Amino acid sequence: MAGIYIHIPFCKQACHYCNFHFSTTQHLLPRMIAAIAKETELRKTYLTETVDTIYFGGGTPSILNSSDIGLLLSKCKQVFNVNPNAEITLEANPDDITEEKLIEWKQIGINRFSLGIQSFVDTELQWMNRSHNAQQAKDCIELIKKYFDNFSIDLIFGSQLLTNGQWQENINIALSFNPPHLSCYALTVEHKTTLGKKVEKNIVTDIDTEKQAQQFEILMQQLKDANYNHYEISNYAKAGFESKHNSSYWQGKHYLGLGPSAHSFNGLSRSWNISNNALYVAAIESNQSVLETETLTPTQQINEYIMISLRTSSGIDLNVVEERWSKEVCDKIVSLSASWITTNHLVLHNKKLQLTQLGKLFADGIASDLFL
């Protein structure tokens, strides 16, 4: 099983919290589509496995014409062995979704959507500088449900504006649409973003970590009560609707990233494309490399496995550690986990180390403590 990620680096406007690679000017868009199609050919030897997932991320892929998305999909299917039943996801913003587009997207092969809702509170959406309002968010979900069974709602919690009551209401509104999947992220203040600069200048207060923790606990309880599987720290799904693409990341499967700033992983090394639209396009057009590559040491491979597996409900499988590396490595991880088990942040059951509900509040710190 392998996946392909296609990065579309264009947005209508910049969200104040976002640090992903994108541009709000689209003059390079036609050349970018051609360059990504060409990069697909240039990277044809990277994946030998069957491709089971294709994911259009960004940026905002939903601003593309259906014909451009169709061209890139066709190119992937031409170059790689793509499973006829592959999960093909398109990230979309509510203000881009129309009935006509949904029909076109379905015809070209899109079968899953990741909807960038973020909030159902208009004042918060304006504060984030989102390009849609709450009513558009609700309307787009209703439209999606007419044509697609598989979609995810993205929400953000822990912002400076969001009260616990508003967060509970956001969750309730989302659940009223009976979504198969939700991705819920704690707001982070990233350096060089508009939000980051405002916090640095004391125009906006910094994140209240205690409130974020409260809202994470509210989220976990409400979605547990609604029978969603908390299968990864930020992701919740009804049975059978877990994201196959993102799950492949957390399971250490191989993936190819196409487009500027996109990352690739083949088990032994990680590579990433240059994060500059003009330089990326010019290099691809000239058949030049846009890649930087890091070969992972055995210790880095182990730590990578610890980091990604601990975030999932399956946890760290010590049988896998022993088979892939050694019993000594396995014993070392168990030793490092002892204090977290004692404080009920981790449980060890059937040779699997898993986060407890309490442990999920400290996932990153626990993972770093287990690193070799």
- Tens-place pLDDT, residues 326-367: 999 999 999 999 999 999 999 999 999 999 999 999 999 999
For helices 99-108 and 134-147, the axis angle rounded to 10 degrees is 40
| Amino acid in the structure at residue 263 | H
- Tens-place pLDDT, residues 35-84: 999 999 999 999 999 999 999 999 999 999 999 999 999 999 999 999 99
Q: Which of 250, 284, 314 marks a domain boundary?
A: 250
Confidence of residue 1 (pLDDT cuts 50, 70, 90): confident
pLDDT of 320: 93
pLDDT of 31: 97
Q: How far is CA 67 from CA 97, 103, 108, 182, in A?
A: 15, 13, 8, 28
Q: Is residue 155 part of a domain?
A: yes
Q: Do 73 and 201 reside in the same domain of the chain?
A: yes
The structural domain count of the chain equals 2
Q: Do 86 and 174 reside in the same domain of the chain?
A: yes
Q: Do 183 and 104 reside in the same domain of the chain?
A: yes
| Amino acid in the structure at residue 147 | Y
Residue 134 has pLDDT above 90, yes or no: yes
Domain that holds residue 356: 298-370
pLDDT of 265: 95
- Average pLDDT value over all residues in the chain: 96
74-101 average pLDDT score: 97
H-run or E-run covering 183: strand 181-186
Q: Is residue 365 part of a domain?
A: yes
Q: Which of 250, 284, 312 marks a domain boundary?
A: 250
For tokens 């991880």, name the residue: 333
Q: Do 84 and 225 reside in the same domain of the chain?
A: yes
Q: Is residue 293 part of a domain?
A: no
Residue 192 has pLDDT above 90, yes or no: no
166-183 average pLDDT score: 98
pLDDT of 191: 87
Q: Do 183 and 62 reside in the same domain of the chain?
A: yes
Q: Do 240 and 310 reside in the same domain of the chain?
A: no
| Residue 338, domain CATH | 1.10.10.920
Q: Is residue 122 part of a domain?
A: yes
pLDDT of 234: 97
Q: Is residue 261 part of a domain?
A: no
Q: Do 74 and 214 reside in the same domain of the chain?
A: yes
Q: Which of 234, 250, 266 marks a domain boundary?
A: 250
Q: Is residue 309 part of a domain?
A: yes
Please check whether residue 128 is in contact with residue 174, taking contact to mean a CB–CB distance below 8 angstroms. no
Backbone angles phi, psi at 237, to 5 degrees: -145, 150
Q: Do 174 and 74 reside in the same domain of the chain?
A: yes
- Tens-place pLDDT, residues 138-168: 999 999 999 999 999 999 999 999 999 999 9
Confidence of residue 268 (pLDDT cuts 50, 70, 90): confident
| Residue 27, domain CATH | 3.20.20.70
pTM value? 0.95
Q: Is residue 278 part of a domain?
A: no
Residue 254 has pLDDT above 90, yes or no: yes
Dist CA 78 CA 33 (whole Å): 16
| Lowest mean pLDDT segment, chosen from 17-21, 95-99, 155-159 | 17-21
Going by C-alpha positions, the residue among 250, 277, 272 that lies closest to residue 262 is 272
Q: Is residue 308 part of a domain?
A: yes
